[in-house]
Amino acid sequence: MKREENPIIEFRDFGFQYFSQAEPTLYDINLKIYPGEKILIVGPSGSGKSTIGHCINGLIPNSYRGEITGTLFINGKDTKGSSIFDRSEQVGTVLQDSDGQFVGLTAGEDIAFALENDRVPTDRMREIVEKTAKIVKIDQHLKASPFELSGGQKQRVSFAGVMVDDVDILLFDEPLANLDPATGKTAIALIDDVWKEYHKTVVIIEHRLEDVLYRDVDRVVVVNDGRIVADMSPDELMATDILPGLGIREPLYVTAMKYAGVKVTPEMKAGRIDTLDITDAKEPLLAWYSQDVAPAPANDRPTMLEARNVTFGYTSRRTTLEDISFTVREGEMVSIVGTNGAGKTTLAKLICGFEKIDQGALYYKGEDMADRTIKERSRKIGYVMQNPNQMICKPMIYDEVALGLRYAGVDEDTIREKVEHALKICGLYPFRNWPLSALSFGQKKRVTIASILVMDVELLILDEPTAGQDYRHYTEIMEFLKSLNDRGITIIIITHDMHLMLEYTTRAIVLSGKRKLGDTTPVEVLTDKELTEKADLKVTSLYELALKLGADDPTAFADHFIRYETERGRAV
Amino acid sequence: MKTNLFDYRERDNLIFNLSGLSKLICFICMSVAVMLSYDIRYILFVTVLSLLFFRISELRFGQIRLMLIYVAIFLAINFILTFLFSPLYGTELYGTRHDLLRITSRYVITQEQLLYQVTKTCKYLSMVPLGMLFLLTTNPSEFAASLNRAFVPYKVCCVLSLTLRYFPDIIRDYHSISLAQQSRGLDFSKKEKLFTRVKNMFNVLLPLILSTLDRVTVVSNAMDLRGFGKEKKRTWYVAKPLVGKDIAAIALGIAILAGSIYMTNVVNGSRFWNPFIA
């Protein structure tokens, strides 16, 4: 490391308090980032990691007002009094929401946006855009509108859009949040390639540690409660017990080693599975693997939902789903996974009756649902959208949960009884008289679930229930869903979180390119190289660990991990 | 799902390849020329010209049919009302009276009234192909750029292009929110009373507004981070440089406007062409 150089970013005794908050968000931040380094900032939600990002790119104090203490130097200069425009020439930010960042009507225009603001002449601008688009491999789509691009492609456009400025520092705010696993992997690889080839300083803010560590990272900065609690290489970090205590998920292969009682040391290079030296861990891991754990209970209850050769297209010319058949039994918790745009959400819409099936049929408890209206289906099947803000339409929690019953004309006494019951199940009873605006994202999610549960549904379909949540909130939401499942509610979860599917669902339906590619246990899906590749999923690192170990059956190894974890209870 | 506000499809012909700026100038000049004059000969001349341009542009009639129907209904109503309220306005304007058909003592169809009303209708009618021609042959992105070059402040132009960008997103949000509400038992169908239906609409609008406000914050941050508003002027990626045919088009537009002014001031001596005092 080139420590003799001057840092490109330096926080010195830095603190920040939003005017809207009673407590400071950041305290005593001392952090030096050197030119050409690649830094990963991790931390649970609300730890202040995004605030650090806002300070680096100048959104603080430009858009978010508050009180700054201490100093932030960029390129050796005190940033006090510098405008967001000065900063935008040094720092390029790729935001989490690639749709929000896509301000142009086409990819080319969006990439050119910064140049337009800089008054670069049109001819010169076209050249730069073309060149930059090639770097991030989006040059084939310059004329495409955002609706024609996938999430990963939109992110590339955003990436190119900040590269045109020839900035020294690239800042990525949760780059993996909206991508399917394979696309996320490609995104991390692309960031890595650009970092290596163009010698940029790269700062990545993300809580999906394992996915970022798939490529080299110089240092990991761990933030908690507004303070930096660790600043070390990934290999060193894996050898500590800092992460589990903070509710950040360690890579699964590290967790497996710790379950097996292996003492992880920096010398084992556990920062990446590729570099991991397994020699000393082999024996304890194999011993652990041979322990007995309870097998998964079999579900032989009657079929609740059955799809028979379902085909559907939004337009008559192009189909979105082709010949999909599957069954869901009562009391199951099933995940639907697959490539972005493979029709996962469309399938949910068909089940709820938002769209009409072209061919084939859906059966609910043996009855054809073809002529059931949305309203009729909604008495049995509840649908929870990804973004709770899109579902909430009353200012008060009680009213929001009561809304469906009021639509149905139920009398107020019954409503009170049912709403209070649903709020109790969801752990929201103490908040019943609160306004929704006072709740966190996870709590809002619970409100939306409560507002569906109150209708006495039997089947709950959730679209990405944990998107953008850190491990603690993820566990909270998922344990809650599991408790609902234990109460007998059948649950279907649409997700591209491989951990969720592996740890909480008993079966995964894999969709890709309009068709169903697989329908088996999550462990088998995630240890099947061919299937994961086709469906843009990612093989679990447990599988790779098993290969390194030379375990007889990698699938069984991964399965053992899940069973073991279920038995001992998931630590948060 | 409809994803574009305008039905813009790129084609390769003279009209499409003109710069948005020259098309805008032509559109303004020709519209002003038509608005200024009450000379039906000149109006018909411009109308024929604009139909010719429409032909060159290879646009399909289907693309403007709906618009044309709306305008036709409006004009028909306007035509009847004008006659009902001031049946002899034409005779006042032209200073003569040639009766054609006597309905009652108040309602007499005169040649003057007929000429006046037909001229007025033609004026509006000729605007339709002109306006649609401009809208449908200009790339929506270039639209903002051309407005800016016609001296509209660039921030206004950007708001316009952002509207085009995010309008489909908001429509999509509206759809999903409305479906989610329907699945909770909200009824939009005609079975409900109108008042209840309107009230139900609000349950969709509130989340829509809240999620749109969220989006506005993200978008404005994203724009700030890329230096939007840094300079007093900005350039445009999609701007087409003015070439020979653009200059020719602008010249034609100005000539048509000049022609209209010439007719008014020199040939007719007023905005009206008066064939009755010859």
- Residues A478-501: tens digit of each pLDDT: 888 998 899 899 999 999 888 899
pLDDT, position A363: 95
Q: What does the pLDDT read at residue B8?
A: 72
Instruction: Kindly give the residue spans of alpha helices, DSSP state H, lying in A379-497.
Output: 397-407, 412-425, 441-453, 471-486
What is d(CA A46, CA A51) in angstroms, rounded to the nearest whole number? 9
From the CA of A245, how many Å to the nearest CA of chain B?
32
Give the one of B168, B203, B211 whose C-beta lies nearest to A390's C-beta.
B211
Average pLDDT of the residues in A366-389: 88
Helix, strand, or coil (residue A237): helix
Residue A307: the pLDDT is: 94
A103: contact with B, CB 8 A cutoff = yes
Which of A229-238, A492-501, A563-572 comes out lowest in average pLDDT? A563-572
The identity of residue A414, as a single letter, is T
CA distance A323 to B202: 39
Task: Report d(CA A217, CA A182) in Å as an integer.
Answer: 19
- With a CB cutoff of 8 Å and minimum separation 6, the contacts of B56 are B13, B14, B15
Structure tokens at A554: 């990698």
Q: Which tokens go with A71? A: 């100093």
The predicted structure's pLDDT at residue B7? 62
Q: What is the DSSP string of A154-208?
A: HHHHHHHHHHTTT-SEEEEESTTTTS-HHHHHHHHHHHHHHHHHH--EEEEE-S-
Is the CB of residue A102 less than 8 Å from the CB of residue A85? no
Asked if B185 and A57 come within 8 Å (Cβ–Cβ), the reply is: no
Q: Which of A418, A441, A388 is nearest to A432 (CA)?
A: A418
Chain CA centroid to CA A426, Å: 23
Whether chain A has a CB inside 8 Å of the CB on B218: the answer is yes
What is the Cα–Cα distance from A563 to A186, expressed in whole angstroms? 31
The label of the residue with tokens 């749109």 reads B212
Report the distance separating Cα A257 and Cα A266, nearest Å.
14
Query: Does A40 have pLDDT greater than 90?
Result: yes
Residue A381 has pLDDT above 90, yes or no: yes
Q: How far is CA A492 from CA A495, A562, B209, in A?
A: 10, 20, 29
Q: How far apart are the C-alpha atoms of B193 and B197, rounded to whole Å?
A: 6
How high is the ipTM of this complex? 0.81
Give yes or no for B275 touching A (CB within 8 A): no
A236 or A388, higher pLDDT: A236
Whether the bond between A61 and the residue before it is cis, its omega within 30 degrees of 0, is yes
Which residues, in sequence order, are CB contacts of A172 under 8 Å at separation 6+?
A93, A94, A191, A202, A203, A204, A205, A206
Judge whether B20 is closer than 8 Å to chain A, CB to CB.
no
Rounded alpha-carbon distances, angstroms, from residue A345 to A340, A402, A424, A463: 10, 26, 29, 7
Largest alpha-carbon pair distance within chain A? 74
Q: How far apart are CA A25 and CA A72, in angstroms?
A: 16
B218/A95 touch (CB, cutoff 8 Å), yes or no: yes
| pLDDT given for residue B1 in this prediction | 38
Minimal CA separation from B227 to chain A, in Å: 5
* Cβ–Cβ gap A93/B165 under 8 Å: no
Task: Give the residue, A378 or A205, on which the prediction is more confident.
Answer: A205
β-bridge mates for residue A94, sequence order: A172
* Amino acid, single-letter form, for residue A254: V
For residues A205 and A52, the answer to whether their CB atoms sit within 8 Å is yes
- Is residue A106 within 8 angstroms of chain B, CB to CB? yes
**What is the nearest CA distance from A352 to chain B, expressed in angstroms?**
7
Judge contact between A11 and A72, C-beta under 8 A.
Answer: yes
Cα separation, B163 vs A176, in Å, equals 28
Is B2 within 8 Å of chain A by CB? no
Q: Which residue carries 């939401």 as its tokens?
A: A477
pLDDT of residue B190: 65
pLDDT tens-digit readout, A319-373: 889 999 999 999 999 999 988 777 888 999 999 998 899 999 999 999 999 888 8
What six digits make up the tokens of A286? 């194999």
pLDDT at A477: 84
CB atoms within 10 A of CB A541: 24
Q: How many CA atoms lie within 13 A of A221 on its CB side?
A: 25
Question: Which of A454, A520, A482, A510 is CA-nearest to residue A331?
Answer: A482
Mean pLDDT of A410-433: 90
Q: Find the closest chain B residue to A146 by CA distance.
A: B165
φ and ψ at residue B99, rounded to 5 degrees: -75, 140
10 Å CB burial of residue B192 (0-12, 13-18, 19+) is middle
Interface check for A451 against chain B (CB to CB < 8 A): the answer is yes
Query: Among candidates A450, A462, A454, which has minimal Cα distance to A397?
Result: A450
Whether residue A389 has pLDDT greater than 90? no
Cα dihedral value A191, A196, A201, A207, nearest 10 = 40
Whether residue A432 is predicted with pLDDT greater than 80 in this model: the reply is yes
Q: Is A69 helix (H, G, I), strand (E, B) or coil?
A: strand
Spans of chain B below 70 pLDDT: 1-7, 188-192, 278
Q: What is the pLDDT of residue A572?
A: 47
Distance (Å, rounded) from C-alpha A481 to C-alpha A389?
19
Q: Which carries the bigger pLDDT value, residue A420 or residue B7? A: A420
Q: Which residues contact B52 (CB under 8 A, 6 or more apart)?
A: none
Measured in angstroms, the CA of B221 and the nearest CA of chain A are apart by 7
A contacts of B237 (beta carbons < 8 Å): 104, 108-109, 112, 115-116, 122, 125-126, 129
Put simply, the answer to whether A113 touches B141 (Cβ < 8 Å) is no
A427: left (phi over 0), alpha (psi -120 to 50) or beta: left
- CA A545 and chain centroid, separation: 23
Q: Which two tokens stand for residue B226?
A: 């890329």
Q: Are A223 and A48 in contact (CB under 8 A)?
A: yes
CA distance A71 to A77: 10
pLDDT number for residue A36: 93
Cβ <8 Å between B230 and A85: yes
Q: Residue A161 corresponds to which tokens in the numbers above?
A: 């859009």
DSSP string, A276-345: ---GGGHHHHHHHHTS--PPPPP--PPEEEEEEEEEE-SSSSS-SEEEEEEEEETT-EEEEEESTTSSHH
pLDDT band at A570 (very low <50, low <70, confident <90, very high): low
- Give the integer Cα–Cα distance in Å for A49 and A227: 9
Q: B84 to each of A287, A344, B77, B123, how far by Cα in Å?
A: 99, 61, 11, 20
Q: Looking at the predicted structure, is the pLDDT value of residue A245 above 90?
A: no
If you search the block for the tokens 């029709």, which residue do you land on? Answer: A343
Q: Distance from A483 to chain B by nearest Cα, in Å?
A: 23
Give the C-alpha separation, B150 to A509, whole Å: 56
User: Is residue A39 within 8 Å of residue A218, measured between CB atoms?
Assistant: yes
- The answer to whether the Cβ–Cβ distance between A389 and B214 falls below 8 Å is yes
Question: Which of B182, B203, B235 faces A122 most closely, judged by CB atoms?
Answer: B235
The token pair that represents A384 in the structure block: 């929870």
